[in-house]
Structure 1
Amino acid sequence: MSQFDEFDQKGSSPERSTGSIISHAFEIYKGIFLYAFVIMIIYIIGDFLLQLLTGFNVWGDYDDFSNFTRPKDEFWDKPGFGLYYSFSSFWNILLAPLHLGLIYIANKFNNKQTVEFSDLFIGFRQNLGQTLLYSLITNIIFAISAALCGLPFFFVYPLFMLGLPFLLFENLSAVDAISKTYAIAKEDYGTFLGTGLLGILISVLGFVLCCIGIIFTLPFIYVVMYSMYCAYCGKPRQI
C-alpha cells in the first residue's frame, strides 16, 4: 500500500486545542461508530473464549453492586487470574491492527470517501509487524505505569497519542513512532494531557452510565488519536 504522504484539504482539521480536537473526533465518530462496535464485538468474543479457556470469570460473583465492596485481594487471588491476564494481554496486542483500521476509516470518512468493511482490517496488511511490536512495547509501559498506584498511567498515556497514526500514515517503525510521538507531545504536553484525559473519560463513559454502553464508546480514543494527528501533522490522504 502506498504511504500517506500528501495532504488533502477537502476534509477538516482541528485546531491544536483540546476542545477543537475532541469536537472534531466526536463528529467523525458519529459517522463510523458501527465499525467501532464491530471491534468491540470481536474483543468481547475473544475475551469470552479466554475466560472459558482459563476458567477465570471476570465478573465472578458480581451479580449485584453490593459485591463490589469485597476486598480487591480476593479478586486477584481467584483461580486462573494470572493465566487469563497473560492471554488477555496477548489478545489486546493482536487487536492493535483493528485500531489502525478504525483510524484509517476515520480518515476516509473525514475525506468524504466511501468506507468499505474491509477497511477495518487494513492494519493486517499495512505495517503489521511494527504495529504488533509497538502494541507490545506500549502495553508493557502502560502496565508498569498503571501498577504504580494507577495515577502515572494518565500522565504517560498522552505521550503516545500519535503513535498509531504514525504507524499507518507514515509507515514508521515501532521505535521511530514512539520517538516521534514523544518529541511532539512533550512540546505541547498540556494539550496532549487534556485531550488524552478527556478522550479516555468519554471512552469509558459508556461503562459509568450503563455497562453495556462501553461497547459503543471505548474505541472513541482511537478517533481522538486521528484528530490529534490532523491537528499536529496535517490531514493525510491516500495516494
Structure 2
Amino acid sequence: MKSVANRIEEIKSNGYQLNFDAVINSAFENYKKIALYAGLMLFVFMVFFGLIASTALISFVGIDNLNPENIKQYSPENLTGIPLLIYMAINIFVSVLIAPFLSGFYKMADCAKKDIEFHVSTMFEYYKSPYLMEICLATFVLLLFNSGLSMLFETNGYAIIGAIIGALISFFSFLTVPLIVFGKLGAIAAIKSSFIIIYKKPLTLLALVIIAIIGALVGFIGCCIGIFFTIPFLYSMYYTVYNEIIGYESDSELVL
C-alpha cells in the first residue's frame, strides 16, 4: 500500500480525478448517519462553552456593566494596539483548544463510512497524542498567519482584501486536519499537502465547499437550533472529499 506522502507526490505530478456527483451523494449518505448524534453533541458543547464564555465575560466586565453599549467597545472593530493583540491571542487560544473536539466530527464521519459504532468518546479521540499536538499546531499556524494578514490589511485600510485572503487561506487549507488524522502527516506537511491538492482542482472543490456551506446554513431556516444538526454536513463533505482523493489511510507514523 502506498503511503499518503507518495500519493501527494502523484497528485503533484499528475493531478487526480474527482466525480462531482459521487462526492455529493456520498457526503449526504454519510451525513444522514451522523446528523442526529453529531448535532446533539455540538448543541451540548455550545451550551457548555456558552456558559463558560458568559461567566468569563461577567467576571471581566462585571454584571453591572453588562449592557450592549459597554460590550460594544470590546468588539474587534473598536480595538487597537495591545487590546487588539490580546483579543487575537484569546481567539487563537480558544480556537486551538477546541480544534481537536471539532476534529472529532471527522472521526465520526469515518466510523459512519465504515459502519463502526461511535460514542461520546469519539468526539474526544483526537485529544490523544500524537494528534493533539499536530492539530493544535496546524490550527495555530493557520490562524496566526490569517489573523496577521487580516490585521495588516485592515490597519492599512484594505479590510476587504484581508477578508478575501483569509477566506482563500481557509479554503486551501480545509483538508489539513483530515491529512493529519487519516493521512498521518505532521501539521506543516498537512498544510502544504492541502494547498497542493486543492490547487489541482480549485473550481471543483470550491463548488463542493459552497454546496456544503449552503447545506450547513439550511439549519437557520425556521428554527435556528437546526444549524447544530446541519453543520455536520460540512464535515461529511470534507471527509468525503479527502476519502475520494486520497482513497486510503496510511499505517505509517506521522510524517513531520
**AA aligned opposite 2:104:** G
| Separation in structure 2 between the aligned mates of residue 213 and residue 118 of structure 1, nearest angstrom | 23
1:221 is displaced (CA, Å) by 1.8
Q: TM-score, normalised by structure 1?
A: 0.74
Report the TM-score when normalising by structure 2. 0.70
| Partner of residue 184 from structure 1, selected from 178, 197, 210 | 197
Tell me the amino acid that sits aligned with residue 28 of structure 1.
N
Structure with the greater alpha carbon radius of gyration: 2
Q: Tell me, what secondary structure is at the counterpart of 1:95?
A: helix
1:38-187 correspondence to structure 2 within 5 Å:
38-55=41-58, 76-77=77-78, 86-125=89-128, 126-143=130-147, 148-149=159-160, 150-187=163-200
Alignment deviations for residues 100-138 of structure 1 (CA, whole Å, 9 cap, x no partner): 221112111111122233222110115110111111122
Q: Give, in whole Å, the separation in 2 of the partners of 1:236 and 1:37.
A: 28
* Matched AA of 1:20: A
Judging changes above 3 Å, is the alpha-carbon distance between structure 1 residues 140 and 236 closer, same or farther for their aligned structure 2 residues? same
Change (3 A) 1:122 1:238: farther
**Mapped partners of 1:186, 1:119: distance in 2:** 31
Match of 1:26 in 2: 28
Which runs of no fewer than 5 residues in structure 1 stay unpaired? Answer: 6-14, 62-71
Task: Look up the match of 1:205.
Answer: 218
Gaps of 5+ in 2: 6-16
How big is the shift at 1:192?
A: 1.7
Task: Give 2:23's aligned amino acid.
Answer: I
Pick which of 228-237 and 179-188 moved more: 228-237
1:190: how far off?
Answer: 0.9
**Corresponding residue SS for 1:16:** coil
Q: CA RMSD in A?
A: 3.5
**Cα separation, 1, equivalents of 2:145 and 2:221:** 26
Q: Percent identity?
A: 21
Cα pair 1:107 1:237 within 8 Å, conserved: no
CA 1:141–1:205: 2 relative to 1, 3 Å: farther
Greater length-normalized contact order (CA 8 Å, ≥ 6 residues apart) = 1
1:178 alignment partner AA:
I
